[in-house]
Amino acid sequence: MIIFPTGIKITDTEHKSLLHIVSNPEEWLLDAITEKAGVRRDALIKEWQPKLFADPSVTELPADAHALCTLIMARDDYKTRLQHDADQDPPVTLHNHNIAKFEGTSRVGKTIKRLDRVPSDATVTLFPSGMDLSDIDCNCILAYIQDLSDWVIGALMGQINRGKKQMIGEWQPIILADPDVSTMPATEEGLINMIVARDDYKMGHNE
Amino acid sequence: MAQTKIAGLFLDPTVISGLTAITDGASDADYLFVWDAGTSTLKKILPDNLGLLAGPTFTGTTTFATLSDGTIAVTAWVDEDNMSSNSATLIPTQQSVKAYVDANGGTAVAGTTDNGILTFVNSGSTFAAEANLTFDGSDLLFQRSNSNGYNQIKVRNTSDTSGSTARINVASGGASAGDAYVFAEIIGQTNWSWGIDNSASDSWVLSKDWQLGTSNDYLRVGTSGDVTMPKTPCFAAYNSSADADVTGNNGAATVDFDTEIFDQGDNFANDTFTAPVTGRYLITASVRIDGVTASSRISNCEFISSNRQWGSYMQLGADPAVSPAGNRNVAIIDMDINDTLTVVLTNGGESGNVHDIGGGATHPTTYITGKLVA
């Protein structure tokens, strides 16, 4: 399954923030999805095993986790999270607020004080040919979440924000104590650019 | 000629019949004789016919040509202080061993094979032994490349009785001294240290560092039993000013928490908490609602986490309407690593989205808090 066929576009500041805590953002994101899939695969098996044991029509189970998940997903009584939500009365609302924030639409039309992210500022493309994920991984995740793309964007933005905070938290005291620095930028973006431009700064050192 | 008494000298009766009979009385060698009752004959007993019982006792001076265990044939003792003959068949005297060790103290035993002699260099306060075990006056080092094996130092008390303990003592000098701690490292990768931080009121500290008392302290236990975890995910944020007209007619408003009070671990940003590890998180939220009229009905303050949505319904609106009102939610939520959580308020009953989400710059009225609990 390929998601984000034209890639994920992030700003230069976001990219630098990401590189502060991971040396390879694409590899990190793929690993994060794989880890999420593994956790959900285990949860799916744990949830369904009692039902399978109690089902007299099931006489044997595969000893392979992926095969077991495939068997579960092929059952008539299996539903994805989205199918479950649609069956509720009233149907559960589909939330894509991670994508909405990423695309700068979460606050549109509302009288609120904070500006949204500006997607047009993005200059760095991750996965320019799209993310190629295994079907079984995707399906294990979709057993529990509504929208895979929204989850991926949420994970990515969470890591970007973590990197941004850690970078500023670590380097602002160094800059303040540096006798060679008399002023520093008043914006987050400016401060990050200043930090990354320092000779003593090293990217990806926290990974 | 000196006489030797041998206790335990025996002649096996079963061999008597096979001995050579004395036929002529002439002597071609000295020998004992024995009467063979079976044949009524006197027979010769030669040295080869004699054996020794176990544990014989010799008195007087005993000399030997060779003593052997079947592998090593010892031919003599030697009193040689410099061990110059380097023989594999001579046994040294105590005096010569002592003289050799005294004269050669501090010189490393040649080679790196096992079972080397550990020596102490008096002049330099150092040990020298096998290459795997050294002491340079500061560090006692046991180092050996041991592919697929364990290098370990054991402290074992095998007595299964009350009070029988085994322990390793790590100590520093006193109140003015440094820390007493244990340091573990994956070389070039990760360091962990744990022990007593002398400069922090003798707290027990677990630190992801080669030393204690840095910003990498992960767990601190005070001498009063107080436990703090400075790096464990824990956050609090609130809405600093009102967001007007965001719900009331079933509008789903993502609650704005624009001001962070604290964010241990840097996991909260843009109204969203992103789980840094898979675990159980205690999340609480309270949302102030302004603009409530008598038309208001259901209010749902939901935690929208990746794996599920956690609702908190309440009835708004009454006659007279109470405004401001509030809706709260508390749950311990299962979150996988990189899952996200936001708070969404959905109110209904009004003819339009006339409800505001309240905020306050001084005292939080709309806020979210959370921490990793398990």
Is A111 domain-assigned?
yes
Is A58 domain-assigned?
yes
pLDDT in tens, A105-131: 877 666 566 777 889 999 999 999 999
Ramachandran angles phi, psi of B129, nearest 5°: -155, -130
Is A192 domain-assigned?
no
Tell me: pLDDT of A48 over 80. Answer: yes
pLDDT in tens, A50-97: 999 999 999 999 999 999 999 999 999 999 999 999 999 989 888 898
- CA B246 distance to own-chain centroid: 56
pLDDT in tens, B279-331: 999 999 999 999 999 999 999 999 999 999 999 999 987 767 788 999 999 99
Question: What local confidence, expressed as pLDDT, does residue B123 receive?
Answer: 61
Count structural domains, chain A: 1
How far apart are the CA of B198 and the nearest CA of chain A, in angstroms?
25
Q: Hey, what are A16's tokens?
A: 């630098």
Peptide bond into B324 cis (omega under 30): yes
How far apart are the CA of B175 and the nearest CA of chain A, in angstroms?
30
CB within 8 Å: B304 and A97? yes
Tell me: pLDDT of B122 over 80. Answer: no
Is A169 domain-assigned?
no
Q: Which domain holds residue A147?
A: 2-160
Ramachandran angles phi, psi of A105, nearest 5°: -115, 0
Side-chain half-sphere exposure of A152, counting CA atoms within 13 A: 28
Chain B residues whose beta carbon lies within 8 Å of the beta carbon of residue A113 = 241, 243, 256, 258
Chain B residues whose beta carbon lies within 8 Å of the beta carbon of residue A151 = 306, 338-340
Is A90 domain-assigned?
yes
Any residues with CB less than 8 A from the CB of A119 and at least 6 apart, and which? A9, A102, A103, A104
Nearest CB to B338; choose among A95, A155, A166: A155
- CA separation for the pair B249, B341 (Å, rounded): 24
Is A96 domain-assigned?
yes
Is A167 domain-assigned?
no
pTM more than 0.90:
no
- CA separation for the pair A13, A26 (Å, rounded): 16
Peptide bond into B13 cis (omega under 30): no
The CA-atom distances, in angstroms, between B369 and each of B256, B264, B272, B277, B305 are 13, 12, 11, 17, 14
Nearest by Cα to B36 from B27, B28, B24, B45: B45
SS3 at position B190 = strand
Full DSSP string of B279-299: EEEEEEEEEEEE---TT--EE
- Whether A58 and chain B come into contact, CB under 8 Å, resolves to no
CB within 8 Å: B340 and A40? no
Q: What is the ipTM of this complex?
A: 0.90
Identity (one letter) of the amino acid at B283? I
Is A71 domain-assigned?
yes
